[in-house]
Structure 1
Amino acid sequence: MRKIAPDERQMMRQSYVKKMINVIRTQGFLSLTIQDIAHIMNLSRASLYNYFSSKEDIILELTNFCITYIDEAGQTISNEELSYPLRLQKVFEQAVFSAAYASDIYLNDLKRSCPSLYEKKMQSRKEQLSAIHSFYQNGMKTGVFNELNPAILIIQDETVLRKLINTSFLMEEELSLKQALYDYYKAKKFQVLKPEFLIDTKNKDINELVDCILQKLAAI
């Protein structure tokens, strides 16, 4: 087998751990064997070891991938050169992926098996919530957002989006994920933005945002 360059190997590691997200979100990872993981990644056990040294290495890569995404999204949310409506879209996107990447099942398994990695994940989460809280507060101070409780807005996103990415819920309600995300973000936009900032009556921005999110989710 040809030698894999470090950059290519890192890209492949991320590509393979992304295939684990849905399983780990719904089932956790403590009960998974290396053979189970190789099957999910569509690799032979031998090929898996070309990219990962152990099951712990896989969980480390997955967790660091999630943390990096949150940190990068946080930089956009805190970028005051961007408009508040545009950054609100990023808050929504980040909330969707937080719901997809970090379920309670996954976090409980991480806390039990990798305490230091769990603490790192929780610190990243704490910084994420602080940035979003400040974003809402500043938006209210500048007169772009309605006067609302940032903590309630944050917990609302966490609760609703965890429900929306649940396939069984969507089936029960006869909803597509695209329609569910579209409807929720539309409601969020009207809830948060003052009327004078709701200039896109055709909601083209929502269509583009949801399509972008779905494309990224499809890559998982």
Structure 2
Amino acid sequence: MKINDEQPGCRYTDRECKSKLAGKLLSPLRSSGFQQLRMEDIARHMDISKATLYKYFASKDEIIELLVEDFVGYVEEKDAEDLPNADVPCEKRFRDTFVQTLVIASYRSDAFVKDLRETFPELYGKLESAIGARNERLRQLYEEGMEAGVFIRQNASLLIMQDELIFRNLVDPVYLMKHNLTLMSALFDYYLIKKRQLLANPEEGGDADRAMRERLDRLAMKIMYGGS
């Protein structure tokens, strides 16, 4: 179904509408990057005509820049919500940041990062700088939880590296197929592993775990079927 050009709130200069359209590219960008995408391919993924696409975006470069700016904004906004808030228990912040790390991994596929580094080095630097700053704040959260006795004392930097490496593989359909895994089950199983690895007194099977399973299942559906 084509987007109605006359739809209220969907003006060609409307930032929110442009972001929603650009978000429809996340699935192809995860799998194959953007260098080979033509404007007609982009229009097809957005479910609009090529003529309408040019009313929203002057070029593919503009779309990629918007996607990176939106994602950097997401990282910084979630940081403000999850990481510095000492009034929120460390256990909840662990769960929230676990989900955020998964979202980052699903966005930062090898194909997309390679194209971004080669074609738009300034945007690549901006994205990596935001994620690097986020990882430093995440390290501080781990250290805070360890000092409080909520988390088991261990190397916080290695915990972050572990998540990045595992999530990068789990969002790769080829890797999952090779190891006879499904994304939904693998995400929740890894959450349980990470919880037992990190928390000094992990509770099993409670409301928090059930809510986390639902949250991860919804995110897995978005990753598998092209959600942003």
Q: Same fold (TM over 0.5)?
A: yes
Alignment of 1:74-153 (within 5 A): 74-75=79-80, 76-153=82-159
CA 1:47–1:4 in structure 2 vs 1: closer, same or farther (change >3 Å)? Answer: farther
Q: Are the equivalent residues in 1 in contact too, given 2:13–2:56 (CA < 8 A)?
A: no
Alignment of 1:8-87 (within 5 A): 9-75=14-80, 76-87=82-93
- Residue 201 (structure 1) aligns with: 205
2:55 is paired with a residue whose SS is: coil
Computed over aligned residues only, the root mean square deviation of the Cα atoms, in angstroms, reads 2.1
Cα distance in 2 for residues equivalent to 1:18 and 1:211:
20
State the identity as a percent.
30
CA 1:104–1:172 in structure 2 vs 1: closer, same or farther (change >3 Å)? Answer: closer
Cα distance in 1 for residues equivalent to 2:182 and 2:14:
35
Q: Are the equivalent residues in 1 in contact too, given 2:30–2:109 (CA < 8 A)?
A: yes
Q: Are the equivalent residues in 2 in contact too, given 1:14–1:62 (CA < 8 A)?
A: yes
- Residue 163 (structure 2) aligns with: 157
Cα distance in 2 for residues equivalent to 1:93 and 1:3:
34
- Mind listing any 5+ residue stretches in structure 2 that lack a counterpart? none
User: What is the Cα deviation at residue 56 of structure 1?
Assistant: 0.8
User: What is the Cα deviation at residue 142 of structure 1?
Assistant: 0.9
> Which residue identity is paired with 1:199?
E
> Which residue identity is paired with 1:31?
Q
Between Structure 1 and Structure 2, how many residues are aligned? 218
User: What is the Cα deviation at residue 91 of structure 1?
Assistant: 1.4
1:49 is paired with a residue whose SS is: helix
User: What is the Cα deviation at residue 175 of structure 1?
Assistant: 2.6
Cα distance in 2 for residues equivalent to 1:192 and 1:118:
31
- Mind listing any 5+ residue stretches in structure 1 that lack a counterpart? none
Cα distance in 1 for residues equivalent to 2:64 and 2:178:
32
Q: Are the equivalent residues in 2 in contact too, given 1:140–1:147 (CA < 8 A)?
A: yes
Q: Find the partner of 2:187 among 173, 181, 191.
A: 181
The TM-score with structure 1 as length reference comes to 0.90
CA 1:83–1:10 in structure 2 vs 1: closer, same or farther (change >3 Å)? Answer: same
The TM-score with structure 2 as length reference comes to 0.87
1:199 is paired with a residue whose SS is: coil
Cα distance in 2 for residues equivalent to 1:3 and 1:66:
26
User: What is the Cα deviation at residue 98 of structure 1?
Assistant: 0.9
Q: Are the equivalent residues in 2 in contact too, given 1:38–1:45 (CA < 8 A)?
A: yes
User: What is the Cα deviation at residue 169 of structure 1?
Assistant: 2.2
